[in-house]
Amino acid sequence: MELGGVAMNEFEHDVQSKRNDAIDSGIGFIVSFIGFSAIFVVATIIDIVAR
């Protein structure tokens, strides 16, 4: 399909979210970082208690 002389993908007409993908990527990185940090902290506490 052409729009203004530019061929567009048919899925670009009705996008579900117009938010910036970089924001979503940053949030995903932060959530993953916090999750792995929590695992590390719990493992460190278990290691200290087990001594």
Per the confidence metrics, is the pTM higher than 0.85?
A: no
Name the token pair of 11.
């899925």
Name the token pair of 47.
């290691």
CB atoms within 10 A of CB 34: 10
Please give the Cα distance from 40 to 30 (Å, whole number).
Answer: 15
Name the token pair of 32.
């993953």
Residue ranges of E strands in the chain: 2-3, 6-7
pLDDT, position 6: 66
Instruction: List the pLDDT tens digit at each of the 51 positions of the chain.
Output: 555 666 666 766 767 777 888 999 999 999 999 999 999 999 999 999 999
